[in-house]
Structure 1
Amino acid sequence: MKSLFQIYIKSYKGLSPAAWLLALVMLINRTGSMVIPFLGMYMSSELGFSKTQVGLVLGCFGLGSVCGSWLGGWLTDRFGSFKVQALSLMLVIPLFLILPWFRTFESLAAMIFTLTLVADIFRPANSVSVARYAKPENITRAYSLNRMAVNLGFSIGPALGGFLASISYNWIFYGNAIGASAALLVFIYFFRNRSQNQLPKKEEENKPKVVERNAYKDGLFILFNVLCCMFSMGFLQLLSTLPLFYKDVYAFDAGQIGLLLGFSGFVIVIFEMVLVHSVEHRFSVRQIMFWGTAITAMSYFMLNIDFGLVWLYMAMFILSTGEMLTLPFMATITVKRAGLSNQGAYMGFNSLAFAAANIFSPYFGTYLAEHFGYNVLWTVAGTTLLTAAVGFYFIIARMKI
């Protein structure tokens, strides 16, 4: 027990104060992210939109994320990560406040696109900040800490959003504005004069020219992002079809589904830092990405077998383990592939892979479930993830990371 406690403490040791502060900003910001889980319910019950209209507006959400990811990377390389993050947080505040005024299908779709675009320029800039403020030997753990803050925020946010929605759906949007305001104040206070890590001049001069390649012309990185998109297409069934599966097949109510999904966030908050610390120096990035993606695939194959509630929690635990092994190292690979002057472009391009999956994953998942059944869906999702695992194994070897 003492040894496990020591490993747990050691996994956090050495992280810079800036890494903790960035995680704090992310925690505050994501705790305020209450719109996402309730947006569909808001449109159907409050505004009376049809399912087709709800799907189209959610598609605008994904499209805004794609555009915001690209624009955020471009802006970060030109103006710096601090200005882009501050601008994003500053602009989303009034957008959240006026969102309840837009109640027609066309106007709400346009507003959701605009809001998501502005909100998601934050992501590449924040990823670059993690790399710039973290110690080089702790980059993966710094990303893990940031992800832990995201998961903790998403665990708190929906619970708080449910309480506010019981008063009025408008208060969900106001709650998001308050969260963004708090994150902005904390971010500006702690980072306005904080200097980033710099490579020693001698090391910078000796750095290979290859790091300055164009992210959008880097063939190996393009293939890597295709594999990241494939991973996301399978993994993101967690947020779209998996809750429907629990409802349709097991007749779980909203509370039971919430507990199962919340269990994933709980596992990540408790175990991710320890797991990443334990594997990052024992195995190569190539091995970790292969096994992490393969483990994620296994969790979906498990859903084809009905062994009751405990089995579902086991599948969720395995899914969370695969996520913990894969996602932090995706960010590490991306930042190591980039040069100092184009980290924003690389991070933005990598974010595009996830944003694109956000658009298509729900549609393909629900289509397969509706027309062919959930067993086919889980088999396709698992096979897609296994294909991505094999692809990662060969592409990362070629990238020499």
Structure 2
Amino acid sequence: MRGWFREAAGGLPRQFWFLWVGILINRLGSFVVIFLAIYLTSERHFSQSQAGLVIGLYGVGGAIGTTIGGVLADRWGRRPTMLTAQFGAAALMLTLGFAYDYWQILAVTFLLGVVTEAVRPAFSAMMVDVVPDRDRVRAFSLNYWAINLGFALSAVGAGLAAKADYLLLFVVDAGSTVITALIGLVFLAETKPKTAAPHAARRQPGLGMALRDRTYVLYLIISLGAVIVMMQHLSTLPIAMAADGLSAATYGWVIAVNGVLIVLGQLFVPRLIEGFDRSRVLALAALIIGIGFGLVAFADAAWFFALTVVIWTLGEMLQSPSNAATVAALSPAPLRGRYQGLNSLNWSAGTALAPVAGGFTQEHLGDAALWLGCFGICVLVAVGYLVTGPRRERRIEQLLATPSAPAVAPAAPDALPPMVAEPVADDARAAG
């Protein structure tokens, strides 16, 4: 057991563990997103379409936030971007709890999406900065483990808090975000790589360089299908369970199965998938996710819904660290913030599209069409991963073999983005 623990968690830099603790605390209090659909339909008595629009608007705001956050992480720095967004998110979370009119909820939710999602590219870029390539699958697995430990506990806690007072959800969520920001303020050092010369940063390519990377953009487009399916667990799944007469507390326990499974098994995943082609792992994960969500079409009791959660969680456990490591491997060092921002943008787009498309399908075509459609999408995603896999591996090999250059020059649309010199930041070295 000691040997397994050393393999799973040993040798990672100190700064990574500060990030890990911060994300765990933040997720322990992430009550609102889990229960937002139920809050809007049950407590505020909005329609399914109105609730879907609110959650979708959060995704639109998140798309803007991740784009801004990725650019700021590269130009302003990882640490100031994270702190500004986290303190802003806490304030807006409390504001949302007191918002009453529908237009107020729409506006505040949009702004909350902007600031909350702006944290993600800075956080991911900082993690890639401090963790060497050989340890990133382990690091992302540990991070995902912390996210889901917090998610499992918060799902149960949020269900109990909702019974007492829905406002408590917003207060606890805001408080956990403030604590996470304070950990960053006190313990995290800036890790943004230093450029070779003072003028190099001014000549560094912008977001357009990442958008012209066709290999990376194609990977994101394929992954978007899986994101849209997975995000149904926060929008249409609770509505489907409520339609079958199941309470908000029951949904909390059922969805907590997702976090419990990941907590129990996620740290074994790196050893399980070691040595396997990452495209095949991603394809298998997509198929398992599709089977899990497809079976929801036949679920009519809490135990059956819990079984579907078990199945798609197994796919998610394979997908998450493999996806994160793939994105990191495809990201040139000077553009890590932007590449991570585009990856977060992909998730934000899925967050925006999932409740709108899912809610429309559920309301007008029925549950069977929604869940069987989710299975079909995942089959297409799996095929896409397999077909485009060799191209991604060639790009990763090219990035690893390309030496650093002192300046940035124009690139062909699908050429490897050129590199600037990347001496390790002093703060990052000290933290490690």
TM-score bin, normalised by smaller chain: 0.7 to 0.9
Paired with 1:196 and 1:145, the residues of 2 have a C-alpha distance of 22
Paired with 1:15 and 1:186, the residues of 2 have a C-alpha distance of 18
Q: Does 1:80 align with 2:73?
A: no
Paired with 2:40 and 2:284, the residues of 1 have a C-alpha distance of 40
Q: Which residue of the partner structure matches residue 237 of structure 1?
A: 232
Paired with 2:42 and 2:77, the residues of 1 have a C-alpha distance of 42
- What letter matches 2:257 in structure 1? F
Check conservation: 2:155, 2:252, Cα contact below 8 A. no
Cα shift readout 1:280-319 (whole Å, capped 9, x = no counterpart)? x220212211211122222234445569766654432221
Q: Which residue of the partner structure matches residue 364 of structure 1?
A: 357
After alignment, is 150-159 or 288-297 more displaced? Answer: 150-159
Paired with 1:48 and 1:243, the residues of 2 have a C-alpha distance of 15
Paired with 2:310 and 2:297, the residues of 1 have a C-alpha distance of 16
Q: Does 1:285 align with 2:252?
A: no
- What letter matches 2:259 in structure 1? G
Check conservation: 1:264, 1:316, Cα contact below 8 A. yes
Q: Which residue of the partner structure matches residue 228 of structure 1?
A: 223
| Aligned pair partner of 1:348 in 341, 344, 349 | 341
From the superposition, tell whether residues 378 and 35 of structure 1 become closer, same or farther in structure 2 (CA, over 3 Å).
closer
Paired with 2:176 and 2:338, the residues of 1 have a C-alpha distance of 27
Q: Does 1:151 align with 2:148?
A: yes
From the superposition, tell whether residues 336 and 213 of structure 1 become closer, same or farther in structure 2 (CA, over 3 Å).
farther
From the superposition, tell whether residues 367 and 121 of structure 1 become closer, same or farther in structure 2 (CA, over 3 Å).
same
Shift of 1:224: 0.7
TM-score under structure 1 length normalisation: 0.86
- What letter matches 1:316 in structure 2? V
Shift of 1:398: 0.5
Paired with 2:287 and 2:75, the residues of 1 have a C-alpha distance of 38
Check conservation: 2:57, 2:109, Cα contact below 8 A. yes
After alignment, is 96-105 or 357-366 more displaced? Answer: 96-105
How many residue pairs get matched? 386
Cα shift readout 1:337-356 (whole Å, capped 9, x = no counterpart)? 11111111111111111111
Cα shift readout 1:219-238 (whole Å, capped 9, x = no counterpart)? 12111111111111122222
Q: Does 1:260 align with 2:254?
A: yes
Gaps of 5+ in 2: 197-204, 397-432
Q: Which residue of the partner structure matches residue 322 of structure 2?
A: 329
After alignment, is 311-320 or 182-191 more displaced? Answer: 311-320
Shift of 1:242: 2.7
Paired with 2:100 and 2:307, the residues of 1 have a C-alpha distance of 42
Shift of 1:133: 1.5
- What letter matches 1:257 in structure 2? Y
Paired with 1:256 and 1:167, the residues of 2 have a C-alpha distance of 15
From the superposition, tell whether residues 46 and 314 of structure 1 become closer, same or farther in structure 2 (CA, over 3 Å).
closer
Q: Which residue of the partner structure matches residue 190 of structure 1?
A: 187
Check conservation: 2:262, 2:317, Cα contact below 8 A. yes
- What letter matches 2:213 in structure 1? D
Q: Which residue of the partner structure matches residue 273 of structure 1?
A: 267
After alignment, is 92-101 or 135-144 more displaced? Answer: 92-101
Check conservation: 1:20, 1:145, Cα contact below 8 A. no
TM-score under structure 2 length normalisation: 0.80
Q: Which residue of the partner structure matches residue 421 of structure 2?
A: none
Shift of 1:357: 1.3
Q: Does 1:216 align with 2:208?
A: no
Identity of aligned residues (%): 26
Paired with 1:307 and 1:61, the residues of 2 have a C-alpha distance of 30
Shift of 1:49: 4.4
Superposed counterparts of 1:301-340, under 5 Å: 301-304=294-297, 312-340=305-333
Paired with 2:159 and 2:302, the residues of 1 have a C-alpha distance of 25
From the superposition, tell whether residues 119 and 50 of structure 1 become closer, same or farther in structure 2 (CA, over 3 Å).
same
From the superposition, tell whether residues 104 and 148 of structure 1 become closer, same or farther in structure 2 (CA, over 3 Å).
same
Paired with 2:175 and 2:61, the residues of 1 have a C-alpha distance of 22
Q: Which residue of the partner structure matches residue 205 of structure 1?
A: none
Shift of 1:100: 4.1
State the Cα RMSD in Å. Answer: 2.9
Q: Which residue of the partner structure matches residue 96 of structure 1?
A: 93
